[in-house]
Amino acid sequence: MIDTPTPPATADELRAAILDRYESLSKRLQQIARYVLDEPNAVALETLAVLADRSGVQPSAIVRFAKTFGYD
Protein backbone atom coordinates (compact mmCIF):
# COMPACT_ATOMS: atom_id res chain seq x y z
CA MET A 1 0.00 0.00 0.00
CA ILE A 2 1.31 3.45 -0.93
CA ASP A 3 1.38 6.14 1.75
CA THR A 4 -0.45 9.21 0.50
CA PRO A 5 0.54 12.44 2.24
CA THR A 6 -2.17 14.22 4.16
CA PRO A 7 -3.01 17.35 2.17
CA PRO A 8 -2.41 20.72 3.80
CA ALA A 9 -5.68 22.01 5.28
CA THR A 10 -4.97 25.74 4.97
CA ALA A 11 -3.24 28.07 2.55
CA ASP A 12 -0.50 28.67 5.12
CA GLU A 13 0.06 24.93 5.52
CA LEU A 14 0.27 24.53 1.74
CA ARG A 15 2.77 27.38 1.48
CA ALA A 16 4.90 25.80 4.22
CA ALA A 17 4.73 22.38 2.54
CA ILE A 18 5.78 23.85 -0.80
CA LEU A 19 8.70 25.72 0.74
CA ASP A 20 9.75 22.60 2.67
CA ARG A 21 9.74 20.35 -0.41
CA TYR A 22 10.65 22.87 -3.14
CA GLU A 23 14.21 21.66 -3.77
CA SER A 24 13.07 18.04 -4.13
CA LEU A 25 10.45 18.87 -6.77
CA SER A 26 11.10 18.42 -10.49
CA LYS A 27 11.77 21.57 -12.50
CA ARG A 28 8.22 21.53 -13.88
CA LEU A 29 6.69 21.16 -10.41
CA GLN A 30 8.99 23.94 -9.15
CA GLN A 31 7.60 26.14 -11.92
CA ILE A 32 4.08 25.48 -10.65
CA ALA A 33 5.18 25.95 -7.04
CA ARG A 34 6.57 29.39 -7.85
CA TYR A 35 3.25 30.37 -9.43
CA VAL A 36 1.30 29.04 -6.43
CA LEU A 37 3.53 30.98 -4.03
CA ASP A 38 3.44 34.18 -6.10
CA GLU A 39 -0.28 34.14 -6.98
CA PRO A 40 -2.19 32.49 -4.11
CA ASN A 41 -5.45 34.32 -4.85
CA ALA A 42 -5.45 33.22 -8.48
CA VAL A 43 -4.79 29.63 -7.46
CA ALA A 44 -7.76 29.71 -5.10
CA LEU A 45 -10.18 31.01 -7.73
CA GLU A 46 -9.12 29.91 -11.22
CA THR A 47 -9.83 26.72 -13.12
CA LEU A 48 -7.22 24.08 -13.76
CA ALA A 49 -6.95 25.11 -17.42
CA VAL A 50 -6.37 28.76 -16.53
CA LEU A 51 -3.80 27.84 -13.86
CA ALA A 52 -1.95 25.66 -16.35
CA ASP A 53 -1.93 28.41 -18.97
CA ARG A 54 -0.79 31.11 -16.55
CA SER A 55 1.93 28.97 -15.01
CA GLY A 56 3.10 27.78 -18.44
CA VAL A 57 2.52 24.05 -18.00
CA GLN A 58 0.15 21.35 -19.20
CA PRO A 59 -2.99 20.70 -17.12
CA SER A 60 -1.68 17.22 -16.30
CA ALA A 61 1.29 18.85 -14.53
CA ILE A 62 -1.12 20.77 -12.28
CA VAL A 63 -2.80 17.47 -11.39
CA ARG A 64 0.60 15.88 -10.62
CA PHE A 65 1.49 18.90 -8.45
CA ALA A 66 -1.76 18.55 -6.49
CA LYS A 67 -1.24 14.81 -6.01
CA THR A 68 2.33 15.43 -4.82
CA PHE A 69 0.87 17.36 -1.90
CA GLY A 70 -1.83 14.79 -1.13
CA TYR A 71 -4.82 16.25 -2.97
CA ASP A 72 -6.99 13.83 -4.96
Sorting pLDDT into bands at 50, 70 and 90, what band is 5?
A: confident
Name the nearest CA neighbour of 67 among 29, 39, 34, 35: 29
pTM for the full model?
0.88
In the chain, domain spans: 11-68
Sorting pLDDT into bands at 50, 70 and 90, what band is 3?
A: low
pLDDT for 4 equals 62
pLDDT over 60 at 51, yes or no: yes
Summarize the confidence of residues 46-59 as an average pLDDT: 96
Of all residues in the chain, the percent with pLDDT exceeding 90 is 88
Q: Where are the alpha helices (DSSP H) in the chain?
A: 11-21, 27-38, 40-45, 48-55, 59-68
Summarize the confidence of residues 15-35 as an average pLDDT: 97
